[in-house]
Each structure stands twice: as C-alpha cells, then as structure tokens.
Amino acid sequence: MSMKRSVLYKTLGMVLLTAGLSTISSCEKSNTKSAESMGTQSMSTAVAGENKSGEALSGEELYARDCQVCHSMRPPAKSAPPIVGLASRFRTVYGNKDDAVAAMVSFMKAPDAANTSLGPQAIRRFGLMPAMSMPDEELEKVAGWLWDQYDPNFVPGGGYR
C-alpha cells in the first residue's frame, strides 16, 4: 500500500469514527430530551404538545404519544384494555359522547377504582391506570378520539363479528 493511500484510509477512518460518535451523542441528547419532557408531563403545569409544524397534536397523535405504550388499538391487550374495547364499553355505559368524554377526562386526571366505568375485573386484571398530567384540552381531545374509535364489529370480550 502506498504512503498516500494509507494516509487516505486513516483520514477516512477518523471521519467515520467522528461521524459515528456524534450520532451516538445526538441519540443520547434526544433521549435526555424525551426524559425531560416526560418529567414535565408529570407536573401539574402540563404544556400542550405540538407537532413539527407547530400545530396542536391531534387525538391520534396524543394517543401515540401518551397511551399506546399501554393501550393497543385492538386485542391482544398490552398492559391495559385495548382502545376498541374501551370505546365499546363507554358507548354502552354512557350512550353519548359528551358524558363519556367527561367521565374519561375525570378518570384520567385521578384514576380511582371507585370511579371506573369498566367492571372491577379490569382493574383486577390490569391494575389501576396512572394519572395523566396533560392539559384539559388534550385530555378532552384524546377522549373524544377514543370515543370515535368505536367499531360495531368488535365483540366485547375480545373477538370480532
């Protein structure tokens, strides 16, 4: 290998190494950032989230950010009842969106076994949901979105028609 070429390879190696390191450190930065924003969420001064264009997050985006980690859309369940099951249950219990949304919002702020709209077996199976420290506007939006996920083909208990 000529001198020139080995110098070239060494330089290239350094460049790649530096690029690799900076990728790692930017990953660490973004992890820190999400940990920080999760910390903010657990305080009472919750700030409404925005997407990349600076618009308020939609109900679906809020679900992806704050609920999906526990609630799958459909069975099988993760660590909480799936969304279609909840939509079906709230429809049965309340019959109208306004009352269902109000019940969901007050439950999400302060989950309490005495206030559940599900049967006692849900809390026995999954444990009590943790409180969501989100602004009221976001709680209302995500609850309204949840109500809209009602699927008439879903059979409570897990299956589909």
The residue among 64, 100, 89 whose CA lies nearest residue 154 is: 89
How far is 132 from 64, CA to CA, in rounded Å?
14
Q: Considering beta carbons, is residue 27 or 131 the nearer one to ligand HEC?
A: 131
Q: Is 87 in the site for ligand HEC (CB under 6 A)?
A: no
Q: Considering beta carbons, is residue 9 or 112 the nearer one to ligand HEC?
A: 112
How far is 148 from 79, CA to CA, in rounded Å?
22
User: Encoding tokens for residue 16?
Assistant: 């790649």
Q: Is 86 in the site for ligand HEC (CB under 6 A)?
A: yes
CA dihedral sign of residues 46, 52, 56, 60: negative
Please identify, among the stretches 16-24, 29-37, 63-71, 150-158, the one whose residues bind ligand HEC according to the rule CB under 6 A: 63-71
> Which single residue is written with the structure tokens 């001198």?
3
- The least distance separating ligand HEC from the CB of residue 142, rounded to whole angstroms, comes to 5
Residues touching ligand HEC: how many (CB under 6 A)?
26
Q: What are the Cα distances from residue 86, in Å, to 97, 113, 131?
A: 13, 16, 17
Is residue 150 a contact partner of residue 91, using CB atoms and an 8 Å limit?
yes
Q: Considering beta carbons, is residue 139 or 155 the nearer one to ligand HEC?
A: 139
- The least distance separating ligand HEC from the CB of residue 21, rounded to whole angstroms, comes to 34
Tallying the residues shown for the chain, one arrives at 161
Is residue 26 a contact partner of residue 33, using CB atoms and an 8 Å limit?
no
Q: Is 129 in the site for ligand HEC (CB under 6 A)?
A: yes
Q: Is 56 in the site for ligand HEC (CB under 6 A)?
A: no
Q: Is 67 in the site for ligand HEC (CB under 6 A)?
A: yes
- The least distance separating ligand HEC from the CB of residue 45, rounded to whole angstroms, comes to 17
Among 70, 94, 140, 144, binds ligand HEC (CB under 6 A): 70
Contact pattern from residue 98 through residue 127 relative to ligand HEC, giving x for each residue in contact according to CB under 6 A and a dash for the rest: ------x--xx--x----xxx---xx--xx
User: Encoding tokens for residue 61?
Assistant: 């985006």
